[in-house]
């Protein structure tokens, strides 16, 4: 755990603060290879390069943006192949997607599926 992320969570003023912390824990625990830090003024996660950022702007949901670092990858021309039977992903482009949780109940129900998506997503990182 990165101390900067821990301090961010401690100071976070968000109506879904406990849900926000639960999503951070899901990402942390998806793989031991995942590191973390503060990037783009929010908790962000990396395996070599950053791939997930938990957005604090939405006050009605905890939104995680999945990406392949800051820039579009020119070697990826079509949407990433991610198995998503729970339909959690909202695709923003071929290499960016969003997942939103609006309650602890949703997190409890879909947490394992979200972690499976995270594990698939990191396979696209170099």
Q: What is the pLDDT of residues 24-55, one digit of tens each?
A: 999 999 999 999 999 989 999 999 899 999 99
Q: What is the CATH number of the domain that holds 114?
A: 3.90.1150
Residues 52, 27 contacting (CB under 8 angstroms): yes
* Across 67-89, average pLDDT: 82
pLDDT in tens, 79-92: 789 999 999 999 99
Instruction: Specify the pLDDT at position 23.
Output: 98
pTM of the full structure: 0.92
Instruction: Specify the pLDDT at position 109.
Output: 97
pLDDT in tens, 97-110: 999 999 999 999 99
Domain holding 98, by residue range, is 3-124
What mean pLDDT is reported for the chain? Answer: 92
Q: Is 41 left (phi over 0), alpha (psi -120 to 50) or beta?
A: left
The structure tokens listed for 18 are: 């406990």
Other beta carbons within 10 Å of 45? 26
Q: Domain tally for the chain? A: 1
The structure tokens listed for 89 are: 């992903």
Our measurement of the distance from residue 59's CA atom to the centroid of its chain's CA atoms, rounded to an integer in Å, reads 16
């Amino acid at each position: 755990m990165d101390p900067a992320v821990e301090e961010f969570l401690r100071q976070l003023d968000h109506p879904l603060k406990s849900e926000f912390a639960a999503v951070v824990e899901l990402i942390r625990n998806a793989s031991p290879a995942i590191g973390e830090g503060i990037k783009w003024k929010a908790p962000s996660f990396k395996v070599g390069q950053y791939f997930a950022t938990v957005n604090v702007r939405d006050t009605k949901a905890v939104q995680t943006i999945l990406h392949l670092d800051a820039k579009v990858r020119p070697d990826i021309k079509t949407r990433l192949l991610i198995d998503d039977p729970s339909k959690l992903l909202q695709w923003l482009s071929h290499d960016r997607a969003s997942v939103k949780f609006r309650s602890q109940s949703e997190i409890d129900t879909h947490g394992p599926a979200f972690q499976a998506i995270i594990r698939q997503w990191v396979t696209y990182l170099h």
